[in-house]
Chains A and B, each alone.
Chain A
Amino acid sequence: MRLLVLLLLLIGGYANAHQFTPTYPKLELSHMPGIMKADMVLFNDRKEIRYYGVSVFDKEWNPVRFATQSKIIPINYKERKYLTIYLSGKGIKKAKYICSKSKILTSISTPSIVSSRICSKLK
């Protein structure tokens, strides 16, 4: 069994991965008064994915208003992007999760597609 798992790991070069870190980002002061920011890193190792969407939610998974350079992030295969999420006002207290989700183009016609979403939690 272990050998099989090891083999699967070794031949897993095909695999398509999505990473979004850190797990527990911290809100920090930004250069603007009253605005807090969190720095995130997105890594795209999914060949068929070229865009990711970023969103922020409260603890009940209601959307929270935020600002960033672009809420839809164009990203190449094996590219790493550094994002800054800005929150203001009530959003600073309400925000609990920062998520990135793969966006699938309608032109992709694979019968079954996996959309991946990773959410980090603000502590």
Chain B
Amino acid sequence: MKKLLLIPILAATANVAGASIPINGFIESKCVIQSDTPGMFGNPTVDKLSTKSADGGVMPIIRYDIVTASKYKAVITTPTNFSSSPNLSDSVEWTSTTVAGQMSDSGMSVFNTDKSIYNNGHTTEFDLVKAGSVWFNVTSEAEYGYGKAFPSGNYTALIVAECIAK
């Protein structure tokens, strides 16, 4: 009888011992840059390359994950030349825009209202004052000469996405 009484006591003790395994975690302040959608140039007219969907292109999308608010700024620089292309004898005029599109927190809309643009419109700086995830949409257009046709071949341009600690 005494032995039977001991069984639930021992079982309870075993449960307590089994429940004390800790799982520790630490989230440090950081900024993560993700190349979410690689862009693609469309060629709507012979003299133009564009990432706009209306021009048959694919807009590059860069995602930033911000763990702690107000620790970083995002700086996105759009191309002003091709990193590889066929030989071009005339000048190329570049125009671009960078905007915060999808965002995990509606308060991140301040990224767009408070952004600063410099470097002839090719560099956009966002103060990351809210934590969460934000997707920056980049459009880039290149126009060749004065209505000149781009030579056939492969064209590659580089977007630089930076996260700089404040």
Given A5-B102, A8-B102, A24-B165, A109 and B158 touching (CB < 8 A)?
no
Chain B residues, CB < 8 A from A113: 38, 83, 156-159
Interface residues on A, range: 35 or more
Contact A114 B159 (CB under 8 A): yes
Chain A residue nearest to B67 (CB atoms) is: A23
0/1 string, B145-166, CB within 8 A of A gives 1: 0000000001111111111111
Given A16-B35, A19-B32, A115 and B41 touching (CB < 8 A)?
no
Given A117-B163, A118-B33, A111 and B71 touching (CB < 8 A)?
no
A32 at the interface (CB under 8 A from B): no
B28 at the interface (CB under 8 A from A): yes
In Å, the complex CA distance between A5 and B63 comes to: 12
Given A23-B165, A97-B164, A121-B166, A116 and B71 touching (CB < 8 A)?
no
In Å, the complex CA distance between A109 and B82 comes to: 11
Chain B residues, CB < 8 A from A121: 164-166
Contact B165 A120 (CB under 8 A): yes
Chain A residue nearest to B132 (CB atoms) is: A5
In Å, the complex CA distance between A9 and B34 comes to: 12
Interface residues of B (CB under 8 A from A): 28-36, 38-41, 51, 60, 62-63, 65, 68, 71-72, 79, 83-84, 102-104, 106, 133, 135, 140, 154-166
Question: Closest 9 interchain pairs by CB?
Answer: A112-B39, A121-B165, A114-B35, A116-B33, A15-B34, A117-B162, A17-B34, A23-B29, A119-B164
